[in-house]
Amino acid sequence: MYPDWINSLAILGAACGAIVFALLSVKFNLENRIKENLGKIGIKLLFRQTMICGLIAIVVVFLLCVIPVAFMIGNFTALVGLWVGLSYPLVLMFFRPEIFDEKVRMTFPRYLIYYAFSLAAGIFMTVRGFSMLNFTGFPLELAVLVIFLGLIGQTMPLFPDYIEKISTIKLGIKKGIAHLTVAETKKAGIFMAALSIVTFLIIRFIAMTVQSQIFGIPT
């Protein structure tokens, strides 16, 4: 570990780097420039351009902010897990524009809502699994299992079309959000939020059970 003044300097430098990046992005309109270049190489769909811009932003913030903090706390693999957990939903949604390229009530992008559901359902376990790689007390098999469970949890909310088929709740996937009433839209949001939380609780229970009962490691 490093002295407190070095840790403070690293945090300050990371914060300043993130602020400078944000200001430069606005000043030079980086998002639109990236989208224009993506269009030139054949990625025409605005939704997919947005997903790539999101991934680029996560990578830049990770390099500017996360890496200095990771070396401070001495758990770099946990921060890699955070990067994977934040990026994974965007990658998956990139390949499913027909599902997520819609706005709820014509104002709020659907993908942001399901992105939040995905994070709630599994990112904690994804980060926890990667964090285990940093400690010799956790077997590699357990860490890989926890990472797998976390990604499974994050995947579940990103297939609302299949969830809508097997449930009685209308999610507005087949016919679109515009065909739902306000009450049905709220019901769909509550249902998906509850499903995400239940998914997290299930995968956490499985991971904790395997850790304590099979590997004999206290939770």
Task: Please state the rounded mean pLDDT for residues 162-185.
Answer: 83
Burial 157-195 (b: 16+ CB within 10 A, else e): bbebeebbeeeeebbbbeeebeebeeeebeebeebbbeb
Q: What is the pLDDT of residues 45-70, one digit of tens each?
A: 999 999 999 999 888 888 777 666 66
- Residue 1: the pLDDT is 54
The domain limits of the chain are 1-74, 76-219
Three-state helix/strand/coil letters over the chain = CCCHHHHHHHHHHHHHHHHHHHHHHHHCCHHHHHHHHHHHCCCCCHHHHHHHHHHHHHHHHHHHHHHHHHHHHCCHHHHHHHHHHHHHHHHHHHCCHHHHCCEECCCEEHHHHHHHHHHHHHHHHHHHHHHHCCCCCCCHHHHHHHHHHHHHHHHHHHCHHHHHHHCCCCCCCCCCHHHCCHHHHHHHHHHHHHHHHHHHHHHHHHHHHHHHHHCCCCC
Q: What is the pLDDT of residues 3-50, one digit of tens each?
A: 666 666 666 766 777 777 777 777 778 888 889 999 999 999 999 999
pLDDT of residue 187 exceeding 60, the answer is yes
The pLDDT-based confidence of 128 (bands split at 50, 70, 90) is: very high
- Residue 25: the pLDDT is 77
- Residue 144: the pLDDT is 97
